[in-house]
Structure 1
Amino acid sequence: MRCPIVLACDRRYAMPLATTLRSIVDAARSSEPFEFHVLVDGLSERIRRRIFASLPHGSASIRWIEVDLETFRGFSTLSYISKATYARLLIPRIFPDSVSKVLYLDSDVLVLDDLRALLATDLEGNVVGAVLDGLDSELKTQTLRLPVPRVQDYFNGGVLLIDLRQWRRAKISEAALEYLKRCPGSPFSDQDALNVACDGLWKRLDSRWNHLAYNEKLDVSELAGEHKPSIVHFTTWRKPWRAEASNANAALYDSFRSRTRFPRNSMDKMEDALRIGWSRIRAFQEARRGKSTRPGDMVDR
């Protein structure tokens, strides 16, 4: 079954992209090569070759698609999220009508199981298949203070199985852009916009297809049974490749990264050690400041 896989990347996310792609092919239980389409913003030819060389010979093809993000310059993102995230709104433009379905993945995921069961999912006439986001319960109980749009159910946009024909028919990209023009500072940017555009038009997928790793202290490799994830999505700024984040999944992530052409070298390890040391110093200083300003510790002068 032909189902292209689409990702987006800029210079900052070259290594994570290579790691995500490597995890996909390593988890496959079939020798059939994957078809990757990568939406890029300013990624050099040298880096593109390095990413492709990170994959076993014959395991995949990569089509690089340079995109113009100028349309999205006025829209905000969180500091750790690349502007390339908006590129997924352009997906319907890059495929002919003969391609009916694609899978979009963020570049901060690890794939731990064969994707073909997900790719074969029947969307039953819905525009997209996605996993419910953790924000959904906060929206429903009205405990979330951020101005996230109120929708029937709020999904995470990091893994999207897209029916291109239904997407085009419902004018999802147009509706998302219209929302962003009205609310350019929406806290979760294009994810908020897609939730508004797809409200009531999406199918809920099993959470194993987008395990949202909010808790950086939880080692996902220890999860088993029905809790074992097929795709792990590192959603916060505490990415496992950032040494100062002290993420419990750093070793798991590095086990995939080390198979790419972007392994951690001696300089990386030295820089990591310095970052860890500096983050600990800052944490100690902040703790000391916190203690010194407690009412009981204050002294009249």
Structure 2
Amino acid sequence: MESKQTRGPIVLACDKRYAMPLATTLRSIVETDRSGEPLEFHVLADGLSERIRRRILDSLPHGSASIRWIEVDLGMFQEFSTISYISKITYARFLIPRIFPDTVSKVLYLDCDLLALDDLQALWATDLEGNVLGAVLDRLDSQIKNQTVRLPVPRVRDYFNAGVLLIDLHQWRKAQIVETALDYLKRCPGSPYSDQDALNVACDGFWKKLDSRWNYLAYNEKLDVSELAGEHKPSIVHFTTWNKPWRPGVPNANAALYDSFRSRTRFPRNSMDRMEATLRIGWSHIKGFQKARQDKSARSDAMVDRQADQSSFK
């Protein structure tokens, strides 16, 4: 079932480490948008200079979007932990209800490590049917249900990924999602997926499952998502692991796809960046080859030792 509501605010969060990914994500959204109307971005920012903010805006075609910058204070989240490659800015999504008036009923939250590969209108048109939010199941969900997950993640009915959230602000406030999430984090400050775990606890039983195409989780860095077709073709691809496609010297099958959008921002890779990446990848392959040879040699030595031991008992 779908509602007739047109698209509204798109919210993202970013610190200075993610300026380039933010620009690339925004570029992908405006390039795939077919409405012909300017998009409305709201960025929860931490430490982004005016020069960087201008550079991000200039990464978008003139007139394609507006960006409202909201400087946030992350002090209230200092006691909570994150995975090493995730910034405290991830907690900024808890501030979303504060930055919009009651007249705004629905917002779309997106992480900065994703690409939009299709128009988002169909996502916007999703009827949340009274639920707090719409999200896509995380791969941890099946592990939780099969009781094979080793991390102390919360055992909820269904576990979603928080990188793409279609939020009903009225229901969010009514259900006191932020208060419940913060209470969970105070009780479990070392929860492995921090704010995502907390949101799953707060929204347990009150969220709608979205089709996986709206948050395709690219865990496999050897799979080129641009080759996926038909029902498997993602509308949003989300690079969730530490091995991001923009990391220099780290092999990733989606590096070319990512660079195709990045190259049209004000943060393109220059020739030196490309050379460095090529050298790093080459060195990575050499080290991998050397390790494989060492492992093979060790196995051969172990086999010889076993044969010698067996001969000694004959």
- Tell me the alpha carbon deviations over residues 244-298 of structure 1, each in whole angstroms, 9 at most, x when there is no partner: 3211111111110011001110121122123223433443454355445544366
CA radius of gyration, larger in: 2
State the identity as a percent. Answer: 79
Hey, what does 1:216 align to over in structure 2?
A: 221
Instruction: Tell me what 1:61 maps to.
Output: 66
| Paired position in structure 1 for 2:303 | 296
Question: SS of 1:179's equivalent?
Answer: helix
C-alpha spacing 1:289/1:187, structure 2 compared with 1 (3 Å): farther
RMSD: 1.6
SS in 2 for 1:118: helix
Q: CA deviation at 1:36?
A: 0.1
Rounded to whole Å, the distance in 2 between the matches of 1:283 and 1:187 is 30
In the TM superposition, 1:193-272 aligns within 5 A as 193-272=198-277
Counterpart code for 1:39: L
Cα separation, 2, equivalents of 1:143 and 1:226: 28
Give the aligned residue type for 1:12: R
Equivalent residue in structure 1 for 2:111, among 100, 106, 115: 106
Residue 120 of structure 1, CA deviation: 1.7
Range moving further from structure 2, 267-276 or 285-294: 285-294
Instruction: Specify the SS of the correspondent of 2:155.
Output: coil
Secondary structure in structure 1 of the residue aligned to 2:243: coil
List aligned pairs for 1:14-53, cutoff 5 A.
14-53=19-58
The alignment status of 1:166 with 2:186, answered yes or no, reads no
Amino acid of the residue matched to residue 110 of structure 1?
Answer: L
Q: TM-score, normalised by structure 1?
A: 0.95
- Check conservation: 2:133, 2:165, Cα contact below 8 A: yes
Rounded Cα–Cα distance in structure 1 between residues aligned with 2:281 and 2:143: 33
Q: Please, what TM-score do these two structures have when normalized by structure 2?
A: 0.91
Instruction: Label 1:2 to 1:118 Cα distance change in 2 as closer, same or farther (>3 A).
Output: closer
Q: Secondary structure at the match of 1:199?
A: coil
Q: Give unmatched runs, 5+ long, in structure 2.
A: 1-5, 309-314
Give the count of matched residue pairs: 300
- Going from structure 1 to structure 2, the CA distance change for 1:293 and 1:72 (only over 3 Å counts) comes to farther
One of 146, 152, 159 as aligned partner of 1:154: 159
What SS does the corresponding residue of 1:296 show, helix, strand or coil?
helix
Q: Is the 8 A contact 2:43 2:69 kept in 1?
A: yes
Counterparts of residues 70-149 of structure 1 (less than 5 Å): 70-149=75-154
Q: How far 1:2 sits from its partner (Å)?
A: 4.8
Q: Which secondary structure state, in structure 2, belongs to the residue aligned with residue 244 of structure 1?
A: coil
**How big is the shift at 1:71?**
1.4
Instruction: Write the deviation string for residues 231-251 of structure 1: whole angstroms up to 9, x where unpaired.
Output: 000111111111332111111
Deviations 1:32-86 (A, max 9, x none): 1100000111011111000000000110000001101111122221122222111
Q: Distance in 1 between matches of 2:123 and 2:195?
A: 23
Alpha-carbon contact 1:291-1:297 (below 8 Å) kept:
no
Q: 2-side partners of 1:167 and 1:289: how far apart?
A: 55
